[in-house]
Structure 1
């Protein structure tokens, strides 16, 4: 009995092995047969073309072989020749010819030529999936996103199940800055390929641009460590956290972003710039200056880097100037009082009132010197820009309202030429950044 079972098993194994080997041989035979057929087609086509290089009977089968084999350079050459021949006899399928010429051009990176060829195919048949899909790709590659999107929409109408078309449509709308419209198509593209990080990032960025940062931030945080999209995600996350006034989180985002050493220089520089601004806000001036100097060394005249370096180098050498520009309101007012005491160091000073505005702080004083006494109004501007005449006129009117006999306008920036002209003949002095910095250096920290 055991002998019989063993015999049956042996026969079964032999049968399976024979079937497997036979199938392999058949597959190999089929492949070899296909290759022989292609070789035969090429041989016969070349014979015809030797007699007449423009013979469609030789070019058409040769084009079929090269296109189906994805030998794009040879296919491009064949269909380029075919497209120039007279097709009145109906021998040449012009739609297919232009389509294949365009696809071959796309694969070879000849985007302008692809657009031209595919437009010709589209004019013949504007409803076909391939004509719309590949022309859409060509337009997309040329960055004609507004033209690409309608073509992908028509491709979807022709075949909504084709892979990749939702991705291209979503990308076209995204780069055309139609952020709201692209989101639904990104969702479909993500359903097709849940692991596609490019779709995930672009969808999150579209949400971010649409003002849905609370939803986008979760995706950016998830992508921060990604080797391809991590640096971009860190930049977006940092911008969001700055808007939320969470500088510590933004700094962490940007610092992680800089750990992606293989990111593009343009992206890296943008992260460094944003991180430097955060450091300045946190009074970490040395760190911010270091980053800005790195930017200056690699990119000339990037944004306002040079002016920021000049500004914060001076601040790093003058702690009181740091307080004047960026400290909280209480520390700022305390410094302004010390400024007045330093300005009139041999006099008795009585503070009558302190008034705050979003742009400046007014301090009304009574000054008692040995030989005179005055009511003096001080206005302290924290801006580092230029103060215009309108503010000086308003200051002069306020002096009259409070019966001030003299006034000082102090700024961490400059006063416009019109402002300086206005004070001529009036009891007003303008103290700009340079003089302000000198006085502040005299004040003990």
Structure 2
């Protein structure tokens, strides 16, 4: 028998064997898992066929199916990629299955570009298929295309509302597009089912914060303060919320816990120190505030307004009256303001008739003043600010003087006044007392 005939018979034999194993492989995809010997036979036969023809579609299909079943994702992705190039010329190939499996295998090896291409093709005519929508959705989340992600993941969620991965990515996408209420319901489920998913739990806290549910946000961030990855940011968020609520003891504890973590990102480290300094200032712990601000300036002198804060805090450290004016409890502040009122006009008799405060922003004191030359009702407004006081504050003061029938008004602050504020009082009986004049008043009390 000639060599040509022998080669031809071998090729026919391989083709017949491959057809058999391909049929076995197709049956395995329908639910049966091939035994180890079956797998070895499939792979051996497929490799023999590919040695004869590297583009043998049946052989590639057998190998791809085996690799996919065994979760050998790199080999599966590579083999299905070869098959995607053959579907246009081979009608026997299942184009949809090949694209789906190539896409899913590529997701597993983080080849998102090829995964996206194949899954997008597979979705045509199969828009309600769960695996396609879920995986395309999570790819869009990773790409930060959150609007697209929501559409895809919503379709997946409608199909399988119990799927934890869908709830996770959909909740995160909702948060990213500023829909915190929808995010909360999903991320809360994820947190309950997967307590180790700290990323989703942290995002749940952020969603609570964005939704205005500060108490729930504080609980979440407090829970995460000790976490190595999310602890510094969580401590910063918890402390900031406590600081805003004027719970200074809790805020100080939060910031200090955050600062105990090793390897804190520089921007988080600086903000923790900056807000801890603000907390110390609010508690009148000026030396501690100064220490934190000096440390920030050493690390990054250009951080926020730290240079101005340093100068201001150093001034506070040497000026007890200014401390009281700006950061002492309201009762002490009012006491200081009363002394300023009674000493403001030289050789006068002053009778304070009313004191009112607007939260911790300013105090109004109404007084009847009499001197040897004149008598009048005067409204004093003390603004607890070392920055520029704007026109709106002066307009409100002017309206208030009319209500109480005061003949004149004074606005006193530890900063200065905007151009609009200065222009507003030019034709009105309101005097502006800025930081320089306040310093003189404080020396007299």
Q: TM range, normalised to the smaller chain?
A: 0.7 to 0.9
2:130 pairs with 1:129: yes
Once the 2 structures are TM-superposed, how far is the Cα of residue 119 of structure 1 from its aligned partner?
1.3
1:414 — aligned with what?
416
Contact 1:45 1:61 in 2 (8 A): no
Unpaired runs of at least 5, structure 1 = 1-29
2:18 — aligned with what?
none
Once the 2 structures are TM-superposed, how far is the Cα of residue 217 of structure 1 from its aligned partner?
4.4
Deviations 1:121-152 (A, max 9, x none): 11142232321221122112112333334433
1:115 — aligned with what?
116
1:356 — aligned with what?
355
CA distance in 1, matches of 2:43, 2:205: 48
Contact 2:283 2:327 in 1 (8 A): no
Deviations 1:97-123 (A, max 9, x none): 322332344334343443333211111
Unpaired runs of at least 5, structure 2 = 1-34
TM-score, normalising length: structure 2: 0.72
CA distance in 2, matches of 1:401, 1:222: 54
Once the 2 structures are TM-superposed, how far is the Cα of residue 85 of structure 1 from its aligned partner?
4.2
1:231 — aligned with what?
232
- RMSD over equivalenced CA pairs, Å: 4.1
CA distance in 2, matches of 1:392, 1:159: 59
Once the 2 structures are TM-superposed, how far is the Cα of residue 282 of structure 1 from its aligned partner?
1.0
**Aligned pairs, number:** 403
CA distance in 2, matches of 1:118, 1:266: 39
Once the 2 structures are TM-superposed, how far is the Cα of residue 81 of structure 1 from its aligned partner?
4.4
Distance 1:169 1:385, change over 3 A: same
Distance 1:332 1:375, change over 3 A: farther
CA distance in 2, matches of 1:113, 1:304: 47
CA distance in 2, matches of 1:387, 1:240: 26
1:18 — aligned with what?
none
Once the 2 structures are TM-superposed, how far is the Cα of residue 430 of structure 1 from its aligned partner?
3.1
CA distance in 2, matches of 1:311, 1:143: 42
2:49 pairs with 1:48: no
Equivalent position to 2:384, from 382, 385, 394: 382
Contact 1:318 1:437 in 2 (8 A): no
Once the 2 structures are TM-superposed, how far is the Cα of residue 182 of structure 1 from its aligned partner?
3.7
Contact 1:349 1:365 in 2 (8 A): no
Aligned pairs (5 A) from 1:39-438: 41-42=46-47, 44-49=49-54, 56-57=57-58, 59-64=60-65, 66-68=67-69, 70=71, 72-73=73-74, 75-85=76-86, 87-156=88-157, 158=159, 164-186=165-187, 188-190=189-191, 192-193=193-194, 195-215=196-216, 217-295=218-296, 304-336=305-337, 338-339=339-340, 347-353=346-352, 355-357=354-356, 358=358, 359-362=362-365, 364=367, 366=369, 373-375=373-375, 377=378, 379-389=381-391, 395=398, 398=401, 401-403=405-407, 409-421=411-423, 429-437=431-439
Deviations 1:54-96 (A, max 9, x none): 5545544454455455555554444444434452532332223
TM-score, normalising length: structure 1: 0.72
Secondary structure, in 3 states, of the residue corresponding to 2:124?
Answer: helix
